[in-house]
Structure 1
Amino acid sequence: MKVIVGIPSYNNAGTISFVVKQAAEGLKKYFGGGIIVNADGGSTDGTREVVLNTKVPDGVKIYSFVYRWPIPGKGSAIKEIMEFALKRNADVIVFVDSDLRSITPEWIYRFAKPIGESYDFVAPLYVRHKWDGTITNNIAYPMTASLYGKDVRQPIGGDFGISRKLVEIYLEDEEIWKTHVARFGVDIFLTTTAIARGFKIIQTSLGMKIHDPKDPAASLGPMFNQVVGTLFMLMKKYENIWKNVRTIKPVPTFGELEKGEPEPVKVTLRLLEIKARELFVKHKPVLKKALNEETFKGIVKALETFEFEDKLWSHVLYDSAVAYKNGILSEAKPLVPLYFAKTADFIKKTMNMSTLEAEKLVEERAKVFLEEKDYLLERW
């Protein structure tokens, strides 16, 4: 089985050498060698030099290039890594992020091995701190599970194993790479396409995820817009698939699940609340048009107290998906203040909980979204 490990990067000189070393050890130990390819977005901190100067075992080759696709972003890097892999007849591509501090050689095995056992898409399943992955927990996971009926816990996890057959599907329409998919929309695109097109999917247990997490109030606005915008775009594309889904089915897991308490993630609750209120004022006119009257009243109240129930939150996202489809919302950006408010609600609710206890709330959220799916279907 020919395995290629792809690492997208942009100014990751401080972390990428460790990722390359671990990936190289995994390729050598489990597959006798292979290729590591880094697609960089024009880093100014010497990222590519660090990659090319990292010592790796015999049998492992390293390539690094600056991707040429004109839209800057992670998706453009992934697109060109996939094209590189097809030219070299890879059977499997394993994608890993360049800021990982918890990656081990076993990650490469755990992403690639299921592809050799007839799976096409391997999603990551790791233990993350309760406040890490707020876009995943509040949006990507409950929306993906309830829409498409597959309980993929980390649909935008950033690390994946993909078969050659599925890579060809991802690259069949170049137009899709001119959207937010070229940026941070790529992860939800990879996952949703695999599910909606009927490919065989599995999750792989990876233990703790330790990386460079982002404080949602400080830096996740653009990422939010790209992920949610792509999710809404794919809802239009695959409406004939998700409309008929009425249950959430478990997805098999490769390897044993681990438990534990990851290192804490810093979030600034007060900043979330301030930004939620400030940005709401800015986006209020378009939100009033996009949301159902009852939903709008609900969010006005939620922004006073920062108590934001899952049922209301599902209606916010479902109303917004309909507004996106109908051209009332041209992007997801006006939802950022509501996402901040929902995140603040979750932080307050889970302040004294362990990550495992908080996880139960996230799982319940997906069930609420499924229960409210008739609301979406009526409005769609």
Structure 2
Amino acid sequence: MNVIVGIPSYNNADTIGYVVKQAAEGLKKYFNGGVIVNADGGSKDGTRNVVLNTRVPESVEVQSFVYKWPIPGKGSAMKELMEFAREKGADALVFVDSDLRSITPEWIYKLAKPIEEGYDFVAPHYIRYKYDGTITNNIAYPMTASLYGKNIRQPIGGDFGVSAKLFDVYLDNEEVWKTNVARFGVDIFLTTTALAEGFKVTQTALGLKIHDPKDPAASLGPMFNQVVGTLFMLMKKYEEKWRSVRKIDEVPLWGNAVGGEPEPVKVTLELLKIRAKELFVQNEMVLKRALSEETFEGVKKALKTFDFDDVLWSHVLFDGAVAYREGVLSEAEPLVSLYFAKTADFVEKTGGMSTLEAEELIRERAKVFLEEKDYLLERW
């Protein structure tokens, strides 16, 4: 099987050498070699030099280029990695993030081998600290599971296996790459498209994910806007696919589940609360138009106590999707204050819990979203 490993990057000189080395070992050990290609966004820290100077086995070729797509972002890098893989006749393209510290050679095998066995899209399945992946846990996971009926736990995980069959599907419409799909919207685009277009999907057990996490209130606002905006855009496109979904099916887990306790991730609770209140005031008028009256009143109450239950939260996102569809919201950014508030609620409720106990709450959230789907359909 011809496997290419693609690594998008921007100023990742400190971590990318390790990723290249582990990926190269995986290609040599399991696929008799292959190509590692880095698509860089014009790093200023020597990222590409690190990639090209990392020692790899003779059977592995390493390339690096600066992507040409004019919108700076992870999606632009991944677009051109798919174009590269298609041009080289790859059977499988494995995407891995450039800041991974827990990647092993086995990750390459686990992300590529299912494609040889007939799967088209391989999503990662990690153990992550309870406060790592707050956009995943609060939005991408419950929305994807309840809308498309597939229990994909990490729909925006970043590390994926993609079959050659999907390259043309993803690259078919150049217009979509002029949206937030060119930025952090790319992961939800890859996952949703594979699900909605009926491709064969699995998850693969990768164990612990240790990377450079971000404190939500300090740095995740733009990512929220890009991911949620893309999710809403795809809801419009795939309305006929998700309207009739009434249950969440399990998605096969490829490989044996791996245990372990992840590194703690710092979340500044007070900053989350401050930012939630400040941004709500700034966006109050547009939120009043975007949310139903009942949801808006519920949100105002929740911002006083930071007790923000999953039913209310599902209504916020469903109302947001409707407002986006109707043009009341041109982007998801006005909702970011409520994401901060919901994250603060989760941090407070899970303070004394283990990651495993917190995981149960996250999985229950997806079920609540499914139960509230009639609300979405009525509003839609």
Q: TM-score normalised by the shorter chain: which range applies?
A: over 0.9
- Partners of 1:294 and 1:82 lie apart in 2 by 45
State the SS of the aligned residue for 2:248.
coil
Percent of aligned pairs with the same amino acid: 76
Q: Does 1:124 align with 2:139?
A: no
- Partners of 1:8 and 1:350 lie apart in 2 by 33
Partner in structure 2 of residue 332 of structure 1: 332
Equivalent position amino acid for 2:62 in 1: I
Report Cα offsets for 1:119-176 as digits up to 9, x if no partner: 0000000000000000000000000000000000000000000000011110011010
- Partners of 2:255 and 2:352 lie apart in 1 by 30
- Partners of 1:282 and 1:261 lie apart in 2 by 39
Equivalent position amino acid for 1:372 in 2: E
- Partners of 1:80 and 1:263 lie apart in 2 by 33
Confirm or deny: 8 A CA contact 1:261 1:354 kept in the other structure. Answer: no
- Partners of 1:259 and 1:13 lie apart in 2 by 29
State the SS of the aligned residue for 2:313.
helix
Q: Which aligned pairs between 1:157-172 and structure 2 lie closer than 5 A?
A: 157-172=157-172
Partner in structure 1 of residue 228 of structure 2: 228
State the SS of the aligned residue for 1:195.
helix
Equivalent position amino acid for 2:142 in 1: P
Which consecutive segments of 4 or more residues in structure 1 shift more than 6 A?
none
Partner in structure 2 of residue 248 of structure 1: 248
Equivalent position amino acid for 1:231 in 2: L
Partner in structure 2 of residue 318 of structure 1: 318
Partner in structure 1 of residue 5 of structure 2: 5
Give the number of equivalent residue pairs.
380
Equivalent position amino acid for 1:89 in 2: G
Confirm or deny: 8 A CA contact 1:310 1:365 kept in the other structure. Answer: yes
Q: Does 1:39 align with 2:39?
A: yes
- Partners of 2:260 and 2:75 lie apart in 1 by 32
Deviation at 1:259, TM superposition (A): 2.4
Deviation at 1:260, TM superposition (A): 2.5
Q: Which aligned pairs between 1:74-93 and structure 2 lie closer than 5 A?
A: 74-93=74-93
- Partners of 1:293 and 1:264 lie apart in 2 by 38
- Partners of 1:262 and 1:183 lie apart in 2 by 27
Equivalent position amino acid for 1:185 in 2: G
Deviation at 1:264, TM superposition (A): 0.3
- Partners of 2:17 and 2:306 lie apart in 1 by 42
State the SS of the aligned residue for 1:124.
strand
Equivalent position amino acid for 1:269 in 2: L
Deviation at 1:314, TM superposition (A): 0.2
Partner in structure 1 of residue 201 of structure 2: 201
Equivalent position amino acid for 1:235 in 2: M
- Partners of 1:240 and 1:78 lie apart in 2 by 28
- Partners of 2:272 and 2:54 lie apart in 1 by 40
Equivalent position amino acid for 2:102 in 1: S
Q: Does 1:307 align with 2:307?
A: yes
State the SS of the aligned residue for 2:14.
coil
State the SS of the aligned residue for 1:15.
helix
State the TM-score, normalizing by the size of structure 2: 1.00
Q: Which aligned pairs between 1:229-378 and structure 2 lie closer than 5 A?
A: 229-378=229-378
- Partners of 2:161 and 2:23 lie apart in 1 by 13
Deviation at 1:261, TM superposition (A): 1.7
Equivalent position amino acid for 1:19 in 2: V
Deviation at 1:324, TM superposition (A): 0.2
State the SS of the aligned residue for 1:62.
strand
Deviation at 1:258, TM superposition (A): 1.8
Report Cα offsets for 1:213-249 as digits up to 9, x if no partner: 0000100000000000000000000000000100000
State the SS of the aligned residue for 2:210.
coil
Partner in structure 1 of residue 182 of structure 2: 182
Deviation at 1:81, TM superposition (A): 0.5
- Partners of 2:352 and 2:118 lie apart in 1 by 43
- Partners of 1:379 and 1:277 lie apart in 2 by 26
